[in-house]
Amino acid sequence: MSKPKYIQANYAQTIEFDLDELGIDWDKVKDYSIRYSELNILYKDGTEETFQSTKDFEVDWSRADSETILDKNWNEVA
């Protein structure tokens, strides 16, 4: 068994996109993606728009969503 060297704690960050506030008609949406906190909308007519989040939520630092113990080679320790 490997000796633990690191502990990683992961916290979720929630963002929100209010479709009404952004003026997005969901019936016209072909696809969407979210990357780097931006919402990219591909419409059925082939046009695209990118939006910033309409609300950022605070991270709850009181409890990690997950924790991982790793050895010196960054392998998970059982």
pLDDT (tens digit per residue) in 18-49: 999 999 999 999 999 999 989 999 999 999 99
For residue 31, being part of any structural domain is answered with: yes
For residue 74, being part of any structural domain is answered with: no
The pLDDT of 8-23, averaged and rounded, is 93
Domains contained in the chain, number: 1
Average pLDDT of the chain to the nearest whole number: 93
Q: Closest by alpha carbon to 11, among 55, 74, 63?
A: 63
For residue 7, being part of any structural domain is answered with: no
For residue 24, being part of any structural domain is answered with: yes
pLDDT confidence of residue 2: 86
For residue 38, being part of any structural domain is answered with: yes
For residue 33, being part of any structural domain is answered with: yes
Residue 19, token pair as written in the block? 């479709």
For residue 30, being part of any structural domain is answered with: yes
For residue 9, being part of any structural domain is answered with: no
Range of the domain at 38: 15-65
66 burial type by CB count under 10 A (0-12 exposed, 13-18 middle, 19+ buried): exposed
Q: Tell me the C-alpha distance between 32 and 41, whole Å.
A: 5
pLDDT confidence of residue 78: 78
Q: Tell me the C-alpha distance between 57 and 50, whole Å.
A: 20
The pLDDT of 47-76, averaged and rounded, is 92
* pLDDT of 10 higher than 90: yes
